[in-house]
Amino acid sequence: MIGTFTRARTLLFVPADRPDRFAKAAGSGAAAAILDLEDAVAPQRKEEARRHAAAWLSSNGHALVRVNSLGTPWYEEDVAMAAQCGAPVVVPKAECPTALAELADRLGPSGVVIALIETALGVERAFEVCSSPGVVRAALGNVDLAGELGVSPDDQVALAYARSRLVCASAAAQLAPPVDGVTTAVRDETALTADLDHARRLGFTGKLCIHPAQVVQVEKAFAPTEEELRWAREVTTVQDGVSVVDGKMVDKPVLERARRILASA
């Protein structure tokens, strides 16, 4: 199951108080749906949303659960429900390695945690967060982070440091590359394309989606192109040592990149 989330290109949010949308999200083509108990649900509907999520998960429905953040009135019951259902957990405002370790302990040895880094402190502690027990991948919460920094969530320059920090921290902690944050312009394919190109160049290999209409475009963007696959196949025929392919040097690090491209296909 862990491999599903480390390789996922698309994770689709669905409000947990809208059970009528669960099946559509599950069948959207996304690698996984995220039943959102946090930002998508009003305070007066939190308990109802938790019951809907539990019912779906208990009836062989598959999804991750974004719990409410540590310190809120709903965190403990959210975690207890996820643990009982054996659901992977998305942790918002992930910034405390101790809290993440305690969560992993509650979820048990098969527990899966995706750390949503969306605070300035979380960015500065990115390596410690990514190294926490149970964390299998990091994701960027660009909207919350932008709010704290006083910038626009779609400003690529303003959030470039945070994105690069997550990519480097994930690699240092030997995690899969991180998942990029949302594109809030739901039906704007141009904006989504620009965000995807930027994230891919920085080293992200997946994206959080907020509408099923985004899924196909995101999946395609993070899949290796035919040209990349051709290059990778040619590079992997090179023997150990240094060689030249397409006029460029090929050595061990380049060979490893080629193998990763083929594996991602």
Which of residues 192, 207, 223 is at a domain's end?
A: 223
Indicate if 217 and 162 belong to the same structural domain. yes
Indicate if 214 and 232 belong to the same structural domain. no
pLDDT at 239: 62
Indicate if 187 and 238 belong to the same structural domain. no
CATH number of the CATH domain containing 159 = 3.20.20.60
The tens digit of pLDDT for each residue in 112-140 reads 999 999 999 999 999 999 999 999 999 99
Indicate if 189 and 256 belong to the same structural domain. no
DSSP output for the chain: -HHHHHH-SEEEEEETT-GGGHHHHHTSS-SEEEEE-STTS-GGGHHHHHHHHHHHHHTT---EEEPPPTTSTTHHHHHHHHHHHT--EEETT---HHHHHHHHHHH-TT--EEEEE-SHHHHHTHHHHHTSTTEEEEEE-HHHHHHHHTS-TT-TTTTHHHHHHHHHHHHHTTPPPPEE---S-TT-HHHHHHHHHHHHHHT--EEEESSGGGHHHHHHHHSPPHHHHHHHHHHTTSPSS-EEETTEEE-HHHHHHHHHHHHH-
Q: Looking at the predicted structure, is the pLDDT value of residue 238 above 80?
A: no
Q: What percentage of the chain has pLDDT greater than the value 90?
A: 79
Q: What percentage of the chain has pLDDT greater than the value 70?
A: 97
Indicate if 133 and 255 belong to the same structural domain. no
The tens digit of pLDDT for each residue in 36-62 reads 999 999 999 999 999 999 999 999 899
Indicate if 250 and 141 belong to the same structural domain. no
Counted domains in the chain: 2
Confidence of residue 241 (pLDDT cuts 50, 70, 90): low
Indicate if 203 and 103 belong to the same structural domain. yes
Q: Which residue has the higher pLDDT, 176 or 224?
A: 176
Indicate if 109 and 143 belong to the same structural domain. yes
Indicate if 47 and 165 belong to the same structural domain. yes
pLDDT at 245: 67
- Average the pLDDT over 238-251 and give the result: 68
Indicate if 58 and 71 belong to the same structural domain. yes
Indicate if 149 and 214 belong to the same structural domain. yes
The tens digit of pLDDT for each residue in 166-215 reads 999 999 999 999 999 999 998 899 999 999 999 999 999 999 999 999 99
Indicate if 231 and 201 belong to the same structural domain. no
The residue range of the domain holding 175 is: 2-223
